[in-house]
Amino acid sequence: MSEQKQAQQHVVIVGAGMAGVQTAVALREQGFTGPVTLIGAESHQPYDRPPLSKAILLGKAEDSAFDVDFEDLGIELRLGLDVTGLRAADHEIDTEAGPVPYDVLVVATGAQPVTLPGTEGVPGVHLLRTLDDAVRLGPVLERRHAVVVVGAGWIGAEFATAAREAGCAVTVVEAADRPLAGALPVEVTTPMAEWYGAGGAELLTHARVHSVEPGAPGRVILADGRELSADAVVVGIGARPATDWLADSGIALDASGAVTADERLRTSLPDVYAVGDCASFPSARYGERLLVHHWDNALQGPRTVAATITGADSGPYDPVPYFWSEQFGRFVQYAGHHAAADELLWRGDPAGEAWSVLWLRAGMLVALLAVGRPRDLAQGRKLIETAAHVDPARAADPAVPLKAAVR
């Protein structure tokens, strides 16, 4: 794109989380000179989300605002503004303050938490997705309340960890037969289930919530009739793309509600891109469309969007997905995508403090989970990126560096 044309192009980014902020920054880094407007639904300065379930929740930090000088970069911030619709034919988005025209639109609205049916507006029931959520939950931890966490996924485990660190009595209820049932196979999650008890939290599986009754304390009533006393209930049962505002826009969405972007994160509508938690993309590496609800995806995707907008074209977006989690004193990291793997290898004893799991497909490393073994993750991630084949016997030996197991 010529500099003269850039100066005439107005890029509007909807969503002021990691994906939106990094798209705005990447545009400037790649030489885009036109006006850039960043719209966020929250009134807070744009902030990073991972500290919400850690430092901010425990009162060790007041906020996690991005260290970005938006004024210096010439990025207009419009915060506390809800976007309600998209009219692609008019190149306008609708907001509660009136229409906003665009030449190029970037959808970066992220994901929104799934709520527990029947608990909306019930006193003492919390979500943990925003800074305001974390601020509301701070006093719960300060007063060492008895907490019931609904959902033993990543966010449930992280909140339970923080609550135990604060001295709360914690019960985690999970409808499935194990934690992380939708994310990892049973042989991997079985040892992870033991972390709850060792960390002082009670884990109840096959436990579906029927209702929550407020009170001091309140009660969580399970489908089998059991009742749990709770001063607070924290719901962490997943998230879905925040794309309701696009319902009548004509943009292509998949069954999950995610915008179906192409390999350069362009959508089905002209001059409209999508990035981060709200968008799925085709992965040639894994041979399927991926929807990645993790921080690293929101960090990397914006570079592709900015390159496509400016005409630099960095090539197709096909990253090795990566995320981390801190739970019950363990640092857990995952890289890749194991759905099509045909072999699973252990490195180390899962009953110990540090171990890894490798997934292979026809001898090629496609995914890795590392618990307390950051070197495995760093080396394994590079091997996944280069489609390396490994010797299973050497790769399964925790004493052998992964890079030394390449065939």
CATH assignment of the domain containing 80: 3.50.50.60
Same domain, 137 and 226: yes
Residue ending a domain, among 276, 310, 344, is: 310
Q: In this predicted structure, which of 2-6, 58-62, 144-148, 367-371 has the lowest mean pLDDT?
A: 2-6
Same domain, 104 and 243: yes
pLDDT number for residue 69? 97
Residue 323 within a domain = no
Q: Is the pTM of this model over 0.85?
A: yes
Residue 192 within a domain = yes
Tally the C-alpha atoms within 13 A of residue 383's C-alpha that lie toward its C-beta: 28
Counting the structural domains of the chain, the total is 3
Q: CA dihedral in degrees (7, 8, 12, 17; nearest 10)? A: -10
pLDDT number for residue 3? 57
**pLDDT at residue 216 above 80?**
yes
Q: Residue 200 is encoded by which pair of tokens?
A: 């002082």
pLDDT number for residue 335? 98
Residue 320 within a domain = no
Residue 295 within a domain = yes
Q: Residue 86 is encoded by which pair of tokens?
A: 């998209």
Same domain, 8 and 106: yes
Q: Residue 341 is encoded by which pair of tokens?
A: 């793997």
Alpha helices, H only, 108-258 = 131-142, 154-165, 186-198
- Under the banding of pLDDT at 50, 70 and 90, the label for residue 61 is confident
What average pLDDT does the chain have?
95
- Under the banding of pLDDT at 50, 70 and 90, the label for residue 44 is very high
What would the pLDDT profile of 312-364 be if each residue is shown by its tens digit?
Answer: 977 899 999 999 999 999 999 999 999 999 999 999 999 999 999 999 999 99
* Percent share of the chain, pLDDT over 70: 98
Residue 315 within a domain = no
Nearest residue to 280 (alpha-carbon basis) of 309, 257, 248, 246: 257
CATH number at residue 364: 3.30.390.30
Same domain, 128 and 229: yes
Alpha helices, H only, 166-232 = 186-198
Same domain, 100 and 131: no
- Under the banding of pLDDT at 50, 70 and 90, the label for residue 63 is confident
pLDDT number for residue 203? 98
Same domain, 245 and 207: no
What would the pLDDT profile of 110-133 be if each residue is shown by its tens digit?
Answer: 999 999 998 988 999 999 999 999
Averaged pLDDT for residues 16-26: 98
Residue ending a domain, among 184, 205, 235, is: 235
Same domain, 60 and 93: yes
Same domain, 292 and 303: yes
Same domain, 268 and 252: yes
**Can you give the residue range of the structural domain that contains 355?**
329-405
Same domain, 246 and 228: no
- Under the banding of pLDDT at 50, 70 and 90, the label for residue 53 is confident
pLDDT number for residue 313? 78
